[in-house]
Amino acid sequence: MRSFLPAPFALLCLLILAGCGGGNNSQLITTGGQGRATLTIQWPSLTRLIPDASNSIKVVITQGDTLVATKTLARPASGGTTTADFPSLPTGAQSVTATAYPNANGTGVAQATATVPLVVVANQTSNFSVTMASTITHLDLAAPAASVNQGATLQYTAVGKDASGAVVLTTPGRLTWISSVTGFVTIDGNGLATGVAPGSSDITVTDTESNKSARTTVTVVPRVPSTPFLTDAFAYPVGGGIANQSGGTGTWGGAWNEYGQGYTSSVIAANSLNFENLAVSGGSVQTTSDFPIGHARAFQTSPGKTGGVLFISYLVKPTDFAGSPFSYFELVYGGVSIGKGGSSNFYGLENSGGGARVDSTVPVTLNQVAFLVVRITFGAANANDTVDLFVNPTPGQPLPSVPDATKSDRNTGVPGDFNLGSSVHCQFDEVRFGRTFGDVAPTN
């Protein structure tokens, strides 16, 4: 452990030895005379406790096998100085042991300790200090696996233990984590490692109070090529309508149909929408009506309530009236609308037909492509599901740990189809269904 004072974990004990002390502190009195000892502890403030989890120090003075005196000193609420007076100590050679504990009453597994000699001479004064060392003899480093998939994460944990194997309480903030090859694996201050590229890296954790370290090796497994089980990139004849088109990959239940109040049909545009390094191909769907219009496609086998989780992604680009009240464009699956709702100018989630909207903080921008990814974590057959929206996540990188919007008030069920709908001019492209983020966000 490092010093309570500015030096390494040092508990500064100033003992002033004076002659002929009085008082009764359970000290052993000998015929050789008496001395006096005063112990002063300068505690650090609560913002920099050393060790962070220590709340008391127990001081024991012995002479041979005989207990001379003992005191337990609790950490003051706001740091500062504690003084312990030992007014009547026998003369001669003695030992002082100071031990830090996590509990204010001197109990728990010891966190730091030291024993130093003390010679009490009658009618003389001596000064000495005690430098306490951590009781941690080693760290146990644990991980759920020895390998991690590229783009996935592993959570490491480290526990300090003493010579007997007992757990010594530490503070996570005192642990430092290092990856030897950050090009393969990165790791944050909480021990969460991310596989960046195929290869191996050493993970080292160090407790900065005890200066004990532990190390392990992790191997990054190459990313499996993306395998979305249903896709449609709208690679259809340019200028034609989307109705009755039936391309894409995977086993669909039928061709596209078009419905709604639109005065003009949507058409296939020549250009694909593009977003960073996302793989794209073919054309896109361009809506041409300023009135609500929809496009639906059936599943041969519904992906609902199977596989534990479902990912859906698509690209969208509003080309007019994006900021007008009550305009919308969205992908609808299982009664959840994903995109811009009629009462909002932010990307988000709401119930199909409106209501219970949850917005992200990402605004809809005219003529700007958005990459929308939804992760649906299925509950039981009759239970609600958790629907997470990620706006513009980076293809080829790990999915952000915190979604931009979440709904948990819908049972998406086992839908027979999905649809794309809009009340304004916009383009849709690259619809994908898969079981992982990598499935629905392949890179070039």
Q: Which residues pair with 389 in a beta bridge?
A: 374, 405
More confident site: 376 or 401 = 376
Domains and CATH numbers, the chain: 10-134 (2.60.40.2550), 138-221 (2.60.40.1080), 230-440 (2.60.120)
Distance, first Cα to last Cα, the chain? 51
Return the SS3 of 8.
coil
The average confidence (pLDDT) of the chain is: 83
> What pLDDT was estimated at residue 30?
36
Evaluate if residue 79 carries a pLDDT over 80. no
- Please name the residues in contact with 31: beta carbons below 8 A apart, sequence gap of 6 or more: none
Backbone angles phi, psi at 438, to 5 degrees: -60, -35
Q: Which two tokens stand for residue 87?
A: 């007014």
> What pLDDT was estimated at residue 110?
87
Residue 217 · residue 196 · CB < 8 Å: no
Q: Which two tokens stand for residue 145?
A: 């696996």
> What pLDDT was estimated at residue 82?
73
> What pLDDT was estimated at residue 129?
61
Spatial separation of the C-alpha atoms in residues 365 and 345, rounded to whole Å: 9
pLDDT, one tens digit per residue, over 281-324 is 889 999 988 788 999 999 999 999 988 899 999 999 999 865 56
CA 428 to chain centre: 34
- How many Cβ atoms sit within 10 Å of the Cβ of residue 314? 24
Rounding to the nearest 10 degrees, give the CA dihedral for residues 213, 214, 216, 220: -50
| Residue burial 363-381, b: 16+ Cβ < 10 Å; e: rest | ebeeeebbbbbbbbebeee
Backbone angles phi, psi at 48, to 5 degrees: -145, 50
pLDDT, one tens digit per residue, over 168-218 is 877 778 899 999 999 999 999 999 999 988 999 999 999 988 889 999 999
Spatial separation of the C-alpha atoms in residues 295 and 259, rounded to whole Å: 6
> What pLDDT was estimated at residue 358?
95
Spatial separation of the C-alpha atoms in residues 118 and 126, rounded to whole Å: 9
> What pLDDT was estimated at residue 260?
82
Q: Which of 115, 68, 112, 111 is nearest to 96 (CA)?
A: 115
Residue 160 · residue 142 · CB < 8 Å: no
More confident site: 9 or 126 = 126
Query: Does the pTM of the predicted model rise above 0.75?
Result: no
Evaluate if residue 347 carries a pLDDT over 90. yes
Spatial separation of the C-alpha atoms in residues 404 and 400, rounded to whole Å: 9
Backbone angles phi, psi at 14, to 5 degrees: -95, 110
Mean pLDDT, residues 378-386 taken together:
92
Evaluate if residue 225 carries a pLDDT over 60. no
- How many Cβ atoms sit within 10 Å of the Cβ of residue 66? 10
